[in-house]
């Protein structure tokens, strides 16, 4: 075990640190600078088939579902194909209408999650086209799908998924780019996304280098009983995943909300004991997100802002600054500091980050 840890105190720490290299592996041989697109040979689909896709539906459980939500946002934005995400565990029980022209994407690090596997089998029974986005080669879901995108994250041991999740989102950005370029995404826009993807490993490195500052912030707020994670549109799946990570390894209750929904109820929970982690990408919603922070502050709520842009001085109680890559891909970067925040909160509370209570790495029975 010491050898496998390679000097790291635990697997979660090791796997977070491996993310820049994991992303480089996911991108290797798949980006095409000349035609500003991506090559995903494992899909086994030509341009005509790719053009014929009517919608994309991402299916996964837990964090894989949140990665799918981020994927749906990317595909819809880059390719202008309707895209949604749904927990695989619910999909298989609600007798879904299966569209033969849709592309279904089964997402799983382990490739063994029973609910995701059952969703794949239900889709195949109904004539749906389903591909895998799987990390473990030769796993049940990879075999059942027969086509897809391998994640190339390398082995993931910690129950809390980090590098596999990041590579899911990177793979979905490439899928969105590919689907976009066979439709209406211009070569210039495609080039911007290719360059953004190439910039991701260094940007993730820069976030990892802010570890000490994030550890200090985590220690300041580790006594909280509950936290909000606030994000809108592109950052909404990021907020959901951030809340999931915190719950999973620190056992602090956390809830994700869209900033726009706060005033419809949850604002009543804000007081000095309820910190909010607010995601503030420097995109079209910047002014709205700043207003959200002001609304929380006006009610006495502490705010940790996670941003890739300059914010007014004194706006938040703590700021985690990350690099900006390009608006569509920035959610991938914003996910990384939330891993570190959850990790350091759990460490401050003396939790076993690799083996949180009540949880298994993969859920192979219902």
Per CB under 6 A, the list member of 53, 103, 159, 197 interacting with ligand AGP is 159
Smallest distance, Å, CB 339 to ligand AGP?
9
Smallest distance, Å, CB 363 to ligand AGP?
5
Give dist(CA 155, CA 158) in Å, integer: 10
List Cβ<8 Å contacts ≥24 apart for 126-131.
126/96, 126/98, 127/98, 127/100, 128/98, 128/99, 128/100, 128/102, 128/104, 129/100, 129/102, 129/103, 129/104, 130/104, 130/105, 130/106, 131/42, 131/43, 131/103, 131/104, 131/105, 131/106
Subset of 46-65 contacting ligand AGP (CB under 6 A)? 61-64
Nearer to ligand AGP, 62 or 128 (CB): 62
Under a CB-based contact definition with an 8 Å cutoff, are residues 116 and 60 in contact? yes
Question: Binding of ligand AGP at residue 354 (CB under 6 A)?
Answer: no
Q: Where are the alpha helices (DSSP H) in the chain?
A: 2-5, 11-17, 19-27, 47-51, 63-79, 88-91, 114-125, 140-145, 163-181, 187-208, 211-221, 236-250, 286-298, 330-348
Candidate ranges 18-26, 153-161, 190-198, 308-316; the one touching ligand AGP (CB under 6 A) = 153-161
Give dist(CA 249, CA 15) in Å, integer: 15
Candidate ranges 51-59, 154-162, 304-312, 328-336; the one touching ligand AGP (CB under 6 A) = 154-162
Choose the catalytic residue: 55, 247, 355, 361. 361
Subset of 206-265 contacting ligand AGP (CB under 6 A)? 248
Question: Binding of ligand AGP at residue 160 (CB under 6 A)?
Answer: yes
Closest residue to ligand AGP, judged by C-beta, is: 62
Candidate ranges 51-59, 122-130, 157-165, 306-314; the one touching ligand AGP (CB under 6 A) = 157-165
Q: Assess whether 361 carries a catalytic annotation.
A: yes
Listing DSSP states for 92-127 in one string gives TTS-PPPPTTSEEEEEESSS--HHHHHHHHHHHHTT
Per CB under 6 A, the list member of 73, 109, 166, 345 interacting with ligand AGP is 109
Nearer to ligand AGP, 87 or 275 (CB): 87
Closest alpha carbon to 142 in 171, 116, 172, 168? 116
- How far from the centroid of its chain's Cα atoms is residue 9's Cα? 24
Instruction: Count CB atoms within 10 A of the CB of residue 312.
Output: 9
Smallest distance, Å, CB 353 to ligand AGP?
11
Question: Binding of ligand AGP at residue 19 (CB under 6 A)?
Answer: no
Smallest distance, Å, CB 159 to ligand AGP?
5
Residues in contact with ligand AGP, counted by CB under 6 A, come to a total of 15
Question: Binding of ligand AGP at residue 12 (CB under 6 A)?
Answer: no
Smallest distance, Å, CB 78 to ligand AGP?
23
Q: Which residues bind ligand AGP (CB under 6 A)?
A: 61-64, 108-110, 113, 116, 159-161, 248, 362-363
Active site residues: 361
């Amino acid at each position: 075990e010491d050898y496998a840890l390679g000097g790291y105190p635990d697997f979660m720490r090791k796997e977070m640190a491996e993310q820049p290299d994991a992303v480089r592996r996911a991108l290797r041989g798949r980006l095409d600078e000349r035609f500003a697109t991506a090559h995903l040979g494992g899909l086994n689909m030509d341009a005509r088939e790719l053009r014929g896709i009517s919608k994309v539906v991402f299916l996964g459980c837990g964090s894989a579902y949140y990665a799918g939500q981020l994927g749906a946002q990317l595909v819809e934005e880059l390719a202008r194909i309707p895209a949604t995400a749904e927990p695989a565990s619910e999909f298989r029980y609600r007798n879904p209408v299966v569209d033969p022209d849709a592309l279904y994407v089964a997402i799983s690090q382990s490739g063994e999650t029973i609910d995701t596997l059952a969703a794949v089998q239900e889709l195949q029974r109904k004539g749906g086209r389903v591909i895998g986005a799987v990390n473990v080669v030769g796993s049940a879901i990879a075999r059942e799908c027969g086509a897809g995108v391998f994640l190339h994250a390398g082995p993931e041991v910690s129950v809390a998924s980090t590098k596999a999740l990041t590579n899911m989102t990177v793979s979905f950005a490439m899928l969105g780019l590919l689907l976009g370029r066979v439709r209406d995404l211009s070569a210039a826009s495609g080039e911007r996304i290719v360059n953004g993807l190439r910039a991701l490993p260094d940007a993730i490195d820069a976030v990892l280098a802010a570890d000490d500052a994030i550890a200090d912030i985590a220690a300041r707020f580790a006594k909280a009983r509950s936290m909000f994670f606030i994000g809108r549109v592109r950052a909404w799946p990021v907020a959901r995943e951030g809340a999931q990570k915190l719950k999973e390894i620190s056992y602090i209750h956390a809830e994700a909300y869209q900033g726009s929904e706060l005033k419809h109820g949850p604002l009543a929970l804000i007081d000095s004991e309820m910190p909010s982690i607010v995601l503030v990408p420097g995109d079209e919603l910047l002014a709205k997100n700043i207003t959200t922070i002001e609304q929380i502050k006006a009610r006495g709520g502490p705010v940790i802002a996670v941003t890739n842009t300059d914010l007014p001085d004194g706006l938040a109680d703590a700021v985690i600054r990350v690099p900006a890559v390009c608006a569509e891909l920035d959610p991938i970067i914003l996910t990384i500091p939330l891993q570190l925040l959850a990790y350091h909160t759990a460490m401050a509370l003396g939790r076993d980050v690799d083996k949180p209570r009540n949880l298994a790495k993969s859920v192979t029975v219902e």
